[in-house]
Amino acid sequence: MLNFFEWNGVSSNDFDTEVTKLIVRKSPNITRPSRKYQKYSVDGRNGDIYIPQEAYNNFIAVYELFLYTDEKGPMLNELSGKIAEWLYSPRGYARLVDDHEMELFRLAYFTGPFDVENNLTIFGKAKAEFNCRPERFLICGDEFIPAEDMDEGWLTVENKTSNTAKPLITIPLSDAPKLKIQIRHGNDVWQWIYAKQDGATSLIADSDTMQWSSGVQYAGKNITGDIDMPKLLPGESRIRIVNANENNSEVETDKYPAWQIKPRWWVL
């Protein structure tokens, strides 16, 4: 039985006091998202043509709530207001965690409405509907891994899921004119070269939002690469970051400022 859920870093249990309670009456259904696809209809041909994508749709998770206060009057309305402020607090996606699966979280957003069925100004029933991204992210994959214990400059990370992860990589910059990023998976090697911008002190590669940023201006125009963004396929990947000169030749291969990666492992 689900006892509480955590939304935007706040637990539903935090609304329990000596005179008020917020009880989760029913947790969401166990839902796996639908796959995105393209559909075509050809004249003169029976049926439709479906082309599946390597992507999934959002879905709605519904929590049924029970509000209680042991005092008649404005107490229920006050409790409802505090819960509504909590639900509406983030702007955009925020973390949603269930107590029966604390090692995972979803990214969701809440737009409302939040309607409470009023019973005798003491009891209230309500639903909180969250629009969730399809992934269940592993909390251990939402932590930065520092570039330590490397083998000849290569950091090894292991994706134990069956899904390709879209990491976040943060890299402090040195004085070298260029930066080279390499990811090796089996026999495949992908490479990106960044021509450093004036005033830039760090480079951030966010594969989820498909953005390169340097804190100075849009950095994507200064990136050349084999593919758009770094990715971590299932299994073992090795990552290497080195300085380069104007001719793209590597320099100071054994000396690079500390960088880190958030792998963002996920399952359905």
Question: Distance (Å, rounded) from C-alpha 245 to C-alpha 180?
Answer: 10
Residues in the chain: 268
Q: Which residues of 210-224 are buried (b: 16+ CB within 10 A; e: fewer)?
A: eebbbeeeebbebbe
Amino acid at 238: R
Instruction: Locate the domains of the chain by residue range.
Output: 5-134, 139-267
Cβ-count burial 131-146 (b if 16+ within 10 Å, e if not)? ebbbbbbbeebbeeee
**Confidence at residue 184, expressed as pLDDT on a 0 to 100 scale:** 96
Q: Block means of pLDDT (10 residues each) for the chain, length 268 residues?
A: 88 91 91 92 88 93 92 81 96 93 96 89 91 97 91 92 97 91 95 94 95 90 94 96 88 75 97
What's the pTM value of the predicted model, to 2 decimals? 0.89
Q: Which two tokens stand for residue 159?
A: 């994706």
Alpha-carbon distance of 201 to 215, in angstroms, equals: 8
Residue 222 and residue 194: Cα distance in Å, rounded?
Answer: 6
Which helix H or strand E contains 190, and what residues bound it?
strand 188-195
pLDDT, residue 54, reads 87
- Which residue in 19, 191, 175, 7 sits closest to 84, CA to CA? 7
Distance in angstroms (rounded) separating the CA atoms of residues 219 and 167? 17
Cα dihedral 209, 213, 215, 219, rounded to 10, equals -140
Q: Which fold has domain 5-134?
A: Elongation Factor Tu (Ef-tu); domain 3 (2.40.30)
* Number of helical H runs and strand E runs in the chain: 1, 23
What pLDDT is recorded for position 73?
Answer: 63
What CATH code would you report for 139-267? 2.60.120.860
Say whether the peptide bond before residue 113 is cis (omega within 30 degrees of 0). Answer: yes
In angstroms and rounded to an integer, the radius of gyration of the C-alpha atoms of the chain is 24
